[in-house]
Amino acid sequence: MSHFTTIKTQIKDSTALVKALADVGFKTVEVHETPQHLYGFQGDIRSDTAEIIIRRQYIGAASNDIGFQRQADGTFQAIISEYDRHQYSQTWLHTLTQRYGYHQLLETAANQGFAVEQQEVLEDGTIRVVVGRWS
C-alpha cells in the first residue's frame, strides 16, 4: 500500500486549478464542496480526503488517486502517493502551478477590464503575457 505525501501549494482558486489540470492532461477532474475519500491502487478507500480529485483510472493502471485538499488558509495541499510521485514530482507540480498562474492572471485581468494583447512562450517555458486596457 502506497503512502500519500502532502505538498503545500499557493493555489487558492479551484476554477483556475481545474483549468491548469486540463492543460497538463487531466480533462476528467472531480470538484466537491466537501472533501471526499481518495482511493488506493487496489480500489481501497484511504483516510485521505480532498475537494479536487483526479481518480486513479485517469492516472495509470497501478496508480492511486491524486487529490487537492483545501487548507484553513484557503490554499490547496496536493496529496500524491509515493508511487505516483515518480511521475507527478516537484517538476510536474511546478508546471501545474505555472499553468494555474496563467489562468489566474487571465481571470484577474478580465475582471479588472484588461484584455490580453499579446502572449508568447519563451524558450525556457516561461509564458509572457501583455495585457492592456483602453480608457
Q: What are phi and psi of 21, to 5 degrees?
A: -60, -40
Q: What is the mean pLDDT of residues 47-54?
A: 97
> pTM of the predicted model, to two decimals?
0.86
Cβ-based neighbours of 20, under 8 Å, separated by 6 or more? 96, 97, 99, 100, 102, 103
**Structure confidence by residue, pLDDT tens digits, 67-125:** 999 999 999 999 999 999 989 988 999 999 999 999 999 999 888 888 888 888 888 87
